[in-house]
Amino acid sequence: MTVNMGPQHPSTHGVLRLVLELDGETVVSVSPTIGFLHTGIEKTAEQKKWQQVIPLVERMDYLGPQSNSLAFCLSAERLLGLEVPQRVKDIRVLIAELQRLSSHLVWFGTHTMEIGAITGMLYAFREREILMNLNEHLAGFRFFPSYIRVGGLREDIPRGWLEAVRAFLDRLPGKLDEYETLITKNPIWLDRTRGVGVISLEDCYQWGLYGPIARAAGGDYDVRRAFPYMGYETYDFDVIGASNGDVYDRYLVRMAEMRESVKICRQALERIPPIGEWAVNDRRITPPPKDEVYTEMEALIQHFLIYSQGFTVPAGDAYVPVEGPRGEHGCYVVSDGSNRPWRVHMRSPGLMACQALHKFIVGGMIADVIAVIGSLDVVMGDVDR
């Protein structure tokens, strides 16, 4: 029997269409169709100035937007030869880890809800709401803050934000314990997830799957460790691994990763001085302070140049990988030396996961398809771009 699942199906995380060939309840083959959410962001980005690309790339992986903008900014800064101040690096690490928490909370909520534990969703979204409020406090925008910019940050962190983050970090571990008492040893959960959707480490790598999926299959590849950026080599955290490569191990890995993220956030909080630099001191990139714009001719000229023409980036190409919530993110940027990028390409972890879907579900039951898609944590905005 052929079953058409999606594109509008509550558990396909957006608009993923699966044509499943079934024998009884066993999946014989699957053919995924994507592209329903293709918005041509890579083409649009070629028409924009460098700083204007950031809101666009944030809309690709909409559950981890600041991981996209971080990848883009790191690549652009590589081309510019910029080294951002230490304070900016620490704030970016804090933001990236809060972003990972936010994304993993949505994953936890939707994944548990799809398997039948609706409570998980209600709990996880309660904590995520605080993260959204933190974003709003930080940048005035809950979902896509566009706060990380080429050359640093948009502006200094607002008063009281660090305290709010600290209060959230004090709250979260207790809530994670609460989630785990609810789910981790729940017999129904174990039955639905153990031994389901198994993949080997070799398959993960040759199908381009990194991140929590590969680490749940016994891998230890984490971009933060293997190719450190933003000073991750100076942070104390564990790369979480498991060995079975099934849905349950992916669950365990992501849950433990959230605790590691809390650990990294706390260390970053210790390092961020309350006042200091929030962008590079380079007048080509960063607009001069307003009091100088009002009083000095050169500053006024710079102000107009940056807001009308942007800045130029030396010709060349760069790709800086970052560890996003779903695995290796990275932005391949090519510049021709002008004020607009020649090419912007985002590596999509979700695309690889959708491609390899048959490795997880063929031979399994149709009900397990839901569990597997949830455990892969695909975001269709990231897949289709």
> Which residues lie near another protein (CB under 8 A)?
34-35, 38, 40, 42-43, 47, 75, 78-79, 81, 202, 205-210, 214, 219-221, 226-227, 314, 316-321, 328, 330, 332, 334, 336, 342-343, 345, 347, 351-352, 354-356, 384-385
C-beta closer to another protein: residue 318 or 369: 318
The residue (of 223 and 247) whose beta carbon lies closer to another protein is 223
Least gap, CB of 225 to another protein (angstroms): 8
Which is nearer to another protein, 178 or 317 (by Cβ)? 317
Sign of CA dihedral 244, 351, 343, 40: negative
Phi, psi of 85 (to 5 degrees): -60, 155
- By beta-carbon proximity to another protein, the closer residue of 246 and 384 is 384
**Smallest gap, in angstroms, from Cβ of residue 347 to another protein?**
5
Give which of 381, 384, 363 is closest to 372, Cα–Cα: 363
| Structure tokens belonging to residue 223 | 């971009």
Q: Which of 288, 209, 284 is nearest to 250 (CA)?
A: 209
Beta carbon of residue 128, minimum distance to another protein (angstroms, whole number): 29
Return phi, psi of residue 314, to 5°. -55, 145
Of the pair 220, 298, the CB lying nearest another protein is at 220
Nearer to another protein, 194 or 345 (CB): 345
Give me the least distance between CB of 385 and another protein, in Å please.
8
DSSP state of 33: E
Q: What angle do CA 59, 107, 323 make, to 5 degrees?
A: 60
Q: How far is the CB of 20 from another protein (least distance, A)?
A: 18
User: SS3 for 309?
Assistant: coil
CA 241 vs CA 50, 189, 298, 361: distances in Å:
37, 20, 54, 22
Nearer to another protein, 318 or 379 (CB): 318
Q: How far is the CB of 32 from another protein (least distance, A)?
A: 9
**Minimal distance, residue 250 CB to another protein, in Å:** 17
**H-type alpha helices, the chain:** 41-45, 53-58, 65-80, 86-115, 118-139, 161-183, 187-193, 201-206, 212-216, 223-226, 247-271, 290-295, 297-308, 349-355, 357-361, 366-376, 380-384
What is the rounded CA–CA span in Å between residue 78 and residue 231? 15
Q: For residues 27 and 214, which CB has a smaller minimum distance to another protein in the complex?
A: 214
Instruction: Please tell me the distance from the alpha carbon of residue 141 to that of residue 155, in angstroms, as a whole number.
Output: 14
| Residue that has been written with the tokens 């919530």 in this structure | 325
CB of residue 213 vs another protein: minimum separation in angstroms? 12
Scanning the structure block, which residue is given the tokens 């991981």?
A: 67
